A and B are shown apart, each in its own frame.
Chain A
């Protein structure tokens, strides 16, 4: 089967994408929003509605102050709510005078709260990966006993490969997010973390469907070798993988173009993660299974 035969080519593509992402993350860094770092909220009041500038007008004015990203939300018809990084007293005064409004409220998100979310986020990512290895090892616990003499792959290897695929997806999605932050100036918020965890979940979802088919085909090998069975399984599940991804991408597009402002970036990052996730379950995870099986077989041969 084409994908299995040319697997090295796809491995190289994946490696390049992951390396590019790591490079981007290392060079640019993940731009953390105020939910992670702590930050400031300022409420600006205008005495009459006509005195209040348009959001984008205020945004251009504030751009000169170099305060980083300032999120502007209208409150009622005479006020703005600004969210930005922690600023000092003189910067705040500049901001208020430039805005033409009066400061109605000034409050901040404590940095401790932000650090806590960041720490919890890292714990959540690691925890999800561990749970998924355990889960797959459990679900596929009988797969190593399948009737393919000498070519069986033990169940924990399925788990490890699923995790390799999801790490691949998470890195590329994060790399894309970093790229977007350069282009669109968006910042990582708690919904970015949510998107990352969901990408992981859905990536494994896809991988499991293919593995599940491999498990089933292993029960009736009909004289086929392991690599042929994996190729057959990929072909059999390909339509499903593509159609499901298409359905999810359709709803994500609806969220991106029509949904609430706060969930736009979430939908965009999820879309990329989902496409990469589908790619990795077909072109990375299953071929890796074959590579690992061949490697083990060769070593056993040399020993024997």
Chain B
């Protein structure tokens, strides 16, 4: 009786244990299906045109320019502001040029007084740089001039110009002894220290007493002081405003202006006023710039690099997946599936952040496929040892993961250290590589311990047989 009872209990216990394992496995299997469906959804997102990949200039074609700003004449605490307004001015110019998605960034290299302040300009799709360079480089010079005092100099200039014009009119050769310097001088105005460098902004304004628009301008602190001195000196007299050596207007000073604000009135039409305000803003390039480097990649070359990158990635993936299936059998197949999910995840992150993909970035990503599989290999090798120690499959999977985790974490972090230093190193080429690699490694840690593990537990049967042994075995032996 007692024996029958205990047998019944035993059978009951066995079926109960079996059913909990079954329930657990069922849960794993449902979860695995959900993961695969989600991954398929992400894959659809990747192939769709929603939030397209952000391609770097070397893949889509375009120009990369590096300018150095001459900050030697600026006080150190002014530099940041000046660079920001420089960036703004150049951005406005490029937008006027009609480039799609230009990137204009200011960047500081080095430290302290040795620091070099740069402006990075990226122009996608622009490979003929002539026009673009002119547009950026053209530095309209805004000058404020005061009246030239009466005197021999003024007379000399006037005489030279009159003589020259008279000679031209008569069809004669101009006098041989003519002074080019005098000829090119302006008889009426002389330059002052006040230039567009000190202009903060100019905008169209509408005066209260007049229907025609005027231009209101605002100087920065230093400019305001210069302007105050200038207006004080020239009260009741005109001050001429020149853009690129051409007179724009010559308003008469009515008051000493101390707040650095002024209004240029005249017979402007609205369009004239707008153009003038724009020219004044453009003229206010706060810092002189020098082209340090240019890089241009044609669209065909870019497309080729992109196509080759994609091919290399697909073939690399195929190689790794085949190797894994060949060596690790069913485990390898699961690793290959979780590698595919890894790729889908990383590409989705590239799309969402977005990460700008360059040829080097794609190489970094392909490399990360090889590195990502390392976690799986570590786990499978551990599992193998646990199985050899006589553990059951499920136990071996769980313990294998637990034991491999420290190695996976510690070893991958060292690669992340290298990648972070690379990112800091910072040319755009290297940054692209480092960023894709960092994202790849972090995602691979996640996929190895969640997705591979879950898929493995979902397919691992609760019983042992020679078929199971073969499928979960490894290497060349049966």
Instruction: Write the chain B residue with the least CB distance to A79.
Output: B298
| Residues on the B chain within 8 Å of A112, using CB | 116, 292
Cβ of A3 under 8 Å from chain B: no
Report yes or no: A240 in contact with B417, Cβ–Cβ below 8 A: no
A124-B425, A205-B414, A208-B411 known; A255+B373 contact, CB < 8 A? no
Which of A35, A74, A212, A262 is within 8 Å of B406, CB to CB?
A212
CA distance A77 to B427 in the complex (A): 29
A76-B300, A205-B411 known; A254+B315 contact, CB < 8 A? yes
Report yes or no: B421 in contact with A127, Cβ–Cβ below 8 A: yes
Interface residues in B49-90 (C-beta closer than 8 Å to A): 58, 66, 68
CA distance A248 to B415 in the complex (A): 14
Which stretch (B162-170, B189-197, B304-312) binds chain A?
B304-312
Interface residues in A257-275 (C-beta closer than 8 Å to B): 257-263, 266-267, 270
Report yes or no: B411 in contact with A212, Cβ–Cβ below 8 A: yes
Cβ of A190 under 8 Å from chain B: yes
Report yes or no: A259 in contact with B312, Cβ–Cβ below 8 A: yes
A194-B360, A208-B407 known; A113+B292 contact, CB < 8 A? yes
Report yes or no: B294 in contact with A244, Cβ–Cβ below 8 A: no
Which of A73, A104, A117, A139 is within 8 Å of B410, CB to CB?
A139
Cβ of A109 under 8 Å from chain B: yes
Report yes or no: A131 in contact with B291, Cβ–Cβ below 8 A: no
Which of B127, B313, B374, B433 is within 8 Å of A194, CB to CB?
B433
CA distance A260 to B358 in the complex (A): 10
CA distance A64 to B266 in the complex (A): 65
A128-B421, A201-B417, A247-B374 known; A75+B308 contact, CB < 8 A? no
| Residues on the A chain within 8 Å of B406, using CB | 212, 216
Which of A132, A202, A259 is within 8 Å of B308, CB to CB?
A259
Tell me the smallest distance from the CB of B36 to a CB of chain A, in Å: 23
Which of B110, B308, B414 is within 8 Å of A208, CB to CB?
B414
Cβ of A297 under 8 Å from chain B: no
Cβ of B35 under 8 Å from chain A: no
Report yes or no: B427 in contact with A251, Cβ–Cβ below 8 A: no
| Residues on the A chain within 8 Å of B429, using CB | 190-191
Report yes or no: B293 in contact with A108, Cβ–Cβ below 8 A: yes
Between B311, B359, B367, B377, the greatest number of chain A beta carbons within 10 A of the residue's beta carbon is seen for B367
Cβ of B327 under 8 Å from chain A: yes
Interface residues in A87-121 (C-beta closer than 8 Å to B): 104-105, 107-110, 112-113, 116-117, 120-121
Interface residues in A233-255 (C-beta closer than 8 Å to B): 236-237, 239-240, 243-244, 246-255
| Residues on the A chain within 8 Å of B130, using CB | 104-105
Cβ of B371 under 8 Å from chain A: yes
Cβ of B385 under 8 Å from chain A: yes
Q: What DSSP secondary structure best describes chain B's contact surface? A: helix
CA distance A206 to B425 in the complex (A): 24
Residue-wise interface mask of B (418-434) relative to A, using a CB-CB cutoff of 8 A (1 in contact, 0 not) = 11011011110110011
Report yes or no: A255 in contact with B316, Cβ–Cβ below 8 A: yes
Tell me the smallest distance from the CB of B228 to a CB of chain A, in Å: 40
| Residues on the B chain within 8 Å of A105, using CB | 129-130, 294
Residue-wise interface mask of A (120-145) relative to B, using a CB-CB cutoff of 8 A (1 in contact, 0 not) = 11001001100110011001000000
Report yes or no: B293 in contact with A110, Cβ–Cβ below 8 A: yes
Task: List 4 additional A-B contacts (Cβ < 8 Å) besides A109-B293, A254-B316.
Answer: A197-B421, A202-B371, A204-B414, A261-B308
Tell me the smallest distance from the CB of A45 to a CB of chain B, in Å: 10
A116-B109, A120-B425, A121-B425 known; A75+B366 contact, CB < 8 A? no
Report yes or no: B293 in contact with A113, Cβ–Cβ below 8 A: yes
Report yes or no: B369 in contact with A239, Cβ–Cβ below 8 A: no
Cβ of B160 under 8 Å from chain A: no
| Residues on the A chain within 8 Å of B333, using CB | none
17 A-B interface contacts by CB (under 8 A): A43-B296, A75-B127, A75-B298, A76-B127, A108-B293, A110-B293, A191-B360, A197-B421, A200-B418, A205-B411, A208-B410, A243-B327, A247-B370, A247-B373, A251-B366, A259-B308, A259-B362
CA distance A117 to B430 in the complex (A): 11
Report yes or no: B381 in contact with A117, Cβ–Cβ below 8 A: no
Report yes or no: B367 in contact with A270, Cβ–Cβ below 8 A: yes
| Residues on the A chain within 8 Å of B418, using CB | 128, 197-198, 200-202, 204
| Residues on the A chain within 8 Å of B297, using CB | 73, 81
Instruction: Write the chain B residue with the least CB distance to A108.
Output: B293
Cβ of A213 under 8 Å from chain B: yes
Interface residues in A60-75 (C-beta closer than 8 Å to B): 73-75
Report yes or no: A81 in contact with B296, Cβ–Cβ below 8 A: yes
CA distance A74 to B359 in the complex (A): 17
Report yes or no: A41 in contact with B294, Cβ–Cβ below 8 A: yes
Report yes or no: B359 in contact with A262, Cβ–Cβ below 8 A: yes
| Residues on the A chain within 8 Å of B129, using CB | 105
Cβ of B413 under 8 Å from chain A: yes
Interface residues in B330-389 (C-beta closer than 8 Å to A): 359-360, 362-363, 366-367, 369-371, 373-374, 377-378, 381, 385
Tell me the smallest distance from the CB of B110 to a CB of chain A, in Å: 7
Between A236, A240, A252, the greatest number of chain B beta carbons within 10 A of the residue's beta carbon is seen for A240
| Residues on the A chain within 8 Å of B374, using CB | 205, 240, 244, 247-248
Cβ of B214 under 8 Å from chain A: no
| Residues on the B chain within 8 Å of A197, using CB | 418, 421-422, 425
Tell me the smallest distance from the CB of A116 to a CB of chain B, in Å: 6
Which of A77, A205, A236, A258 is within 8 Å of B412, CB to CB?
A205
Which of A109, A202, A205, A244 is within 8 Å of B292, CB to CB?
A109
Report yes or no: B309 in contact with A260, Cβ–Cβ below 8 A: yes
Instruction: Write the chain B residue with the least CB distance to A237.
Output: B381
Instruction: Write the chain A residue with the least CB distance to B58.
Output: A262
Cβ of B319 under 8 Å from chain A: yes
Cβ of A24 under 8 Å from chain B: no
| Residues on the B chain within 8 Å of A35, using CB | 427
Instruction: Write the chain B residue with the least CB distance to A254.
Output: B316
Which of B116, B298, B304, B360 is within 8 Å of A263, CB to CB?
B360
Cβ of A148 under 8 Å from chain B: no
Interface residues in B140-181 (C-beta closer than 8 Å to A): none
Closest 3 CB pairs of A and B: A201-B418, A248-B370, A254-B316
Instruction: Write the chain A residue with the least CB distance to B309.
Output: A260
Report yes or no: A250 in contact with B370, Cβ–Cβ below 8 A: yes
Tell me the smallest distance from the CB of B466 to a CB of chain A, in Å: 23
Cβ of A84 under 8 Å from chain B: no
Instruction: Write the chain A residue with the least CB distance to B318.
Output: A254
Cβ of B446 under 8 Å from chain A: no
Between A124, A206, A236, A254, the greatest number of chain B beta carbons within 10 A of the residue's beta carbon is seen for A254
Report yes or no: B298 in contact with A201, Cβ–Cβ below 8 A: no
Residue-wise interface mask of A (10-47) relative to B, using a CB-CB cutoff of 8 A (1 in contact, 0 not) = 00000000000000000000000001000001010000
Cβ of A186 under 8 Å from chain B: no
Which of B116, B417, B430 is within 8 Å of A193, CB to CB?
B430
Report yes or no: A73 in contact with B301, Cβ–Cβ below 8 A: yes
Which of A131, A132, A261 is within 8 Å of B305, CB to CB?
A261
| Residues on the A chain within 8 Å of B58, using CB | 262
Report yes or no: A243 in contact with B414, Cβ–Cβ below 8 A: no
Between A81, A253, A261, A262, the greatest number of chain B beta carbons within 10 A of the residue's beta carbon is seen for A262
